[in-house]
Amino acid sequence: MTKTLKTMAATCAVSAGMALGATAASAETWDMPMAYSATNFHSAVGAEFAACVTAGTGGELAIQTHPGGSLFAGGEIKRAIQTGQVNIGERLLSGHQNENALFGFDSIPFLATSFADSEKLWEAAKGPLTEVLNAQNLHLLYAVPWPSQGLYFKKEINSVADMQGIKFRSYNSATARLAELSGMLPVQIEAAEISQAFATGVAESMISSGSTGYDRKVWESLTHFYDVQAWLPRNYVMVNLDAWNGLDASTQNVMTGCSIVAEYAGDWRSIEYTKFTLNQLAAHGMFVGPAGDKLQGELKEFGAKMTAEWLESTGAAGQALIDAYNAN
């Protein structure tokens, strides 16, 4: 499908160029770094978004995605866009919670645990997040949730007592804090690197979706997935604000339209992918199921603590976001 769209986009670009007598010099290509593997649904949505913009602008603005952290590693993508090294890219925004605590709104344990609640939370957060990003020279295009986050281990875990001293792969401050609270040892590793980290014992556990576990074939090293449904973090596609302001209105309209479609498509794919990936983990021999009551109860206590900590670090802005979420 993507290939076909790309071919269509290229054909459109050529015919539009011929029809308008445009010169090659007037067409522009934007490279779009993405952190996750090409086969992941976020990357598939990104590729469709890119084809949509390319086709919609008749090739005047072509977008070329670079998945798997191949152009910039996940942790570098936001800065690369802010500083104009690239004009557009995708990033897990909660990875930057240490810059601004508000970025962690989607990684608060047990605040929004279903797709419907995640959508409600996003509706409440979109306005404030757009402002924060604008102040960082970024224009927000769209955001897509990961499926809910569960705990991966290489042994049976029934309580926090069983987790002591385990090396835990983290991807943002919330995941590192969860490790700390449970007596584990957090080590920050990008998804692109985790298969190797698990194989070499640098990490022995993580919290993530079935989707990332499936992408990285974690059954080669890990054995248990507890579907604790902690939160649904989001990936964001952002444009450098100066580059955005430099586009003419019709190009901006195409991008905005393609972003709306991408957000819908991304939501749908995330929901569809959840069951498939959890089934795949089980099909490869992993235990996939809920956590026991003791463990789930202990995690909920950490969740309450982390919610209080987040509210403390975000102050009035965080409280306003939660109030808007609860009012919906």
Shorter beta-carbon distance to ligand PCA: residue 191 or 255 = 191
3-state per-residue secondary structure call for the chain: CHHHHHHHHHHHHHHHHHHHCCCHHHCEEEEEECCCCCCCHHHHHHHHHHHHHHHHCCCCEEEEEECCCCCCCHHHHHHHHHCCCCCEEEEEHHHHCCCCHHHHHHHCCCCCCCHHHHHHHHHHHHHHHHHHHHHCCEEEEEEEECCCCEEEECCCCCCHHHHCCCEEEECCHHHHHHHHHCCCEEEECCHHHHHHHHHHCCCCEEEECHHHHHHCCHHHCCCEEECCCCCCCEEEEEEEHHHHHCCCHHHHHHHHHHHHHHHHHHHHHHHHHHHHHHHHHHHCCCEEECCCHHHHHHHHHHHHHHHHHHHHHHHHHHHHHHHHHHHC
Shorter beta-carbon distance to ligand PCA: residue 92 or 222 = 92
Q: Which stretch binds ligand PCA (CB under 6 A): 63-71, 205-213, 282-290, 319-327?
A: 205-213
191 part of the interface to ligand PCA, by CB under 6 A: yes
Contacting residue, 54, 118, 205, 208, with ligand PCA by CB under 6 A: 208
Contacting residue, 41, 171, 273, 325, with ligand PCA by CB under 6 A: 171
Closest separation in Å from C-beta 187 to ligand PCA: 13
Closest separation in Å from C-beta 172 to ligand PCA: 8
Q: Which stretch binds ligand PCA (CB under 6 A): 155-163, 204-212, 267-275, 311-319?
A: 204-212
209 part of the interface to ligand PCA, by CB under 6 A: yes
Binding mask 109-148 for ligand PCA (x = CB under 6 A): -------------------------------------x--
Give the binding-site size for ligand PCA (rule: CB under 6 A): 9
Q: Which stretch binds ligand PCA (CB under 6 A): 83-91, 160-168, 180-188, 209-217?
A: 209-217
Contacting residue, 173, 182, 212, 274, with ligand PCA by CB under 6 A: 212
Report how far residue 38's alpha carbon sits from residue 251's, in angstroms, rounded to the nearest whole number. 26
Q: Which stretch binds ligand PCA (CB under 6 A): 22-30, 206-214, 218-226, 238-246?
A: 206-214
Q: Are strands 224-226 and 287-289 parallel, antiparallel or unpaired?
A: parallel
| Nearest residue to the partner ligand PCA, using Cβ | 209
Report how far residue 139's alpha carbon sits from residue 150's, in angstroms, rounded to the nearest whole number. 31
65 part of the interface to ligand PCA, by CB under 6 A: no
Contacting residue, 62, 92, 111, 239, with ligand PCA by CB under 6 A: 92
Shorter beta-carbon distance to ligand PCA: residue 159 or 229 = 229
- Name the site residues for ligand PCA (rule: CB under 6 A): 92, 146, 171, 191, 208-209, 211-212, 233
